[in-house]
């Protein structure tokens, strides 16, 4: 595994500059202070266009399926949208797609204005390190399964009070809802990491060298997108800090994506089973402390695995671009076994010289002619 996403100490030249993940935009020889701003502006423009297309598509589907029933105050789908009920498949699908749209937005903006290759958005190696991502996902799957299992066990035994879930917050079709979760949530979590731990971290890191700025400054934006009480918002903020630290420390988004995906998929699957209220915005101090401790444990284990497998966390300087030589001498073909000598030059004494076939065999400059009188002709009279 280490040969794919790790580097041995001897393979790194100590004299060449090294770039951490949040400083990768500085690696580009075409970097200017305004390029990150232009990149973010391009991403916002792409997202506005995709949001309009997505909203128009949703309205077309709703009108074609329900028609005049949209004005009905008892219409369940419209009520679900007004209440932002994530248990409704239409609401869930629309919200997930609106977040998944971050993936093409971030990729295209980085492709146009980011450093090369575009894979630097994923890691310092210029690509997604799939084996490292799979290892992180496997570790998180085991840890979160234990965490959720212990939580449900404590609720079942009465050691922890279980929350009362209203019927409207339970999916009407659990299996269909679970299928949507498996198909959509991994992309939703990865999309958020591409933006908040990808574009924003590298943009801030191009201006501010210390990694704390790149890790902490995107946290308020990420937290503001979640509608929870103070304990829930603090939990989200701590998760954002941990995800940013993992991204910086491992040189890529893979570890943060794995934690985010497994956490979200697990919660929504529990919501599909009716064990968790996926619309709940209330939390508690005990839940906050438990979640913070568990998230820190997951991060510690992933960092130890990164250290064990020597996961690459810095990139070397940008490869030099070789400019092709536009003006080159026209190649002259010489027959094999002949002297590379101009056809008009005198023959080399003692060596047999052949000439290209386009010249006559009995040319006055043939190698068989050695008499000066035969070459120059008879001397003029009186010489």
Considering only residues 157 and 367, tell me which one the structure prediction assigns the higher pLDDT. Answer: 157
Domain definitions of the chain by residue range: 16-315
**CA triple 195-198-201, angle to 5 deg:** 105
CA quadruple 337, 340, 344, 348: dihedral, nearest 10: -70
3-class secondary-structure state, position 19 = strand
pLDDT at 319: 84
Q: What Cα–Cα distance (Å) separates residue 243 from each residue in 216, 250, 252, 295, 298?
A: 10, 11, 10, 10, 11
pLDDT at 375: 46
What is the mean pLDDT of the segment spanning 300-312?
A: 97
In this predicted model, what pLDDT tens digit does every residue of 334-360 receive, in sequence order? 555 555 555 566 665 555 555 555 545
3-class secondary-structure state, position 16 = coil
Residue 180 has pLDDT above 80, yes or no: yes
Considering only residues 2 and 278, tell me which one the structure prediction assigns the higher pLDDT. Answer: 278
Range from 52-61, 138-147, 330-339 carrying the lowest mean pLDDT: 330-339
Residue 227 has pLDDT above 90, yes or no: no
Size (the chain), residues: 383
CB 171 within 8 A of CB 83: no
3-class secondary-structure state, position 123 = strand
Q: What's the half-sphere exposure (Cβ side, CA atoms, 13 Å) at 263?
A: 20
CB 50 within 8 A of CB 241: no
To the nearest whole number, what is the mean pLDDT of the chain? Answer: 84
In this predicted model, what pLDDT tens digit does every residue of 139-176 receive, in sequence order? 999 999 999 999 999 888 877 777 788 888 899 899 99
Range from 34-43, 62-71, 273-282, 310-319 carrying the lowest mean pLDDT: 62-71
3-class secondary-structure state, position 114 = coil
CA–centroid distance for 310 within its chain? 20
Considering only residues 263 and 31, tell me which one the structure prediction assigns the higher pLDDT. Answer: 263
Neighbouring-strand partners of residue 19: 315
**Dihedral (CA of 16, 20, 24, 30) sign:** negative
pLDDT at 229: 93
Q: What Cα–Cα distance (Å) separates residue 172 from each residue in 89, 97, 176, 273?
A: 9, 21, 9, 10
Q: Provide the greatest CA pair distance for the chain.
A: 135
Listed in sequence order, the residues at least 6 apart from 86 whose beta carbon sits closer than 8 Å to its beta carbon are 92, 95, 271, 278, 279
pTM exceeds 0.85, yes or no: no
Cα-only R_g, the chain: 34
pLDDT at 73: 57
Q: What are phi and psi of 241, to 5 degrees?
A: -65, -45
Name all contacts of 285-291 with Cβ < 8 Å and 24+ positions apart. Answer: 285/231, 287/231, 287/235, 288/231, 288/232, 288/234, 288/235, 291/235, 291/238
**Dihedral (CA of 250, 312, 193, 128) sign:** negative
């Amino acid at each position: 595994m280490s040969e794919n996403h790790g580097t041995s100490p001897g393979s790194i030249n100590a004299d060449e500059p090294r770039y951490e993940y949040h400083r990768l935009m500085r690696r580009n020889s075409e970097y200017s202070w305004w390029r990150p701003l232009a990149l973010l502006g391009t991403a916002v423009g792409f997202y506005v266009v995709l949001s309009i297309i997505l909203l128009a598509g949703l309205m077309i589907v709703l009108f074609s399926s329900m028609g005049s029933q949209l004005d009905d105050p008892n219409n369940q789908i419209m009520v679900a949208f007004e209440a932002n009920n994530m248990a409704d498949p239409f609401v869930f699908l629309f919200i997930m797609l609106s977040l998944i749209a971050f993936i093409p937005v971030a990729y295209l903006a980085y492709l146009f204005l980011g450093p090369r290759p575009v894979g630097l958005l994923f890691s310092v190696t210029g690509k997604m390190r799939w084996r490292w991502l799979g290892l992180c996902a496997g570790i998180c799957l085991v840890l979160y399964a234990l965490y959720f299992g212990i939580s449900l066990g404590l609720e079942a035994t009465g050691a922890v009070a279980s929350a009362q879930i209203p019927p409207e917050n339970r999916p009407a079709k659990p299996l269909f809802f679970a299928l949507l979760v498996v198909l959509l949530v991994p992309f939703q979590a990865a999309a958020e990491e591409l933006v908040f731990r990808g574009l924003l971290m590298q943009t801030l890191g191009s201006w501010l060298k210390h990694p704390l700025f790149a890790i902490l400054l995107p946290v308020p934006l990420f937290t503001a997108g979640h509608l929870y009480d103070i304990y829930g918002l603090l939990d989200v903020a701590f998760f954002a800090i941990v995800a940013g630290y993992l991204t910086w420390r491992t040189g890529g988004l893979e570890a943060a994506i794995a934690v985010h995906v497994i956490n979200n998929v697990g919660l929504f699957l529990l919501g599909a089973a009716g064990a968790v209220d996926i619309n709940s915005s209330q939390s508690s101090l005990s839940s906050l402390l438990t979640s913070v401790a568990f998230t820190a444990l997951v991060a510690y284990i992933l960092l130890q695995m990164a250290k064990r497998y020597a996961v690459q966390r810095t990139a070397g300087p940008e490869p030099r671009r070789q400019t092709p030589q536009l003006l080159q001498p026209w190649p002259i073909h010489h027959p094999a076994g002949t002297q590379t000598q101009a056809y008009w030059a005198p023959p080399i004494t003692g060596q047999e010289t052949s000439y290209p076939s386009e010249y006559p065999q009995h040319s006055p400059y043939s190698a068989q002619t050695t008499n000066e009188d035969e070459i120059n002709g008879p001397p003029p009279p009186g010489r």
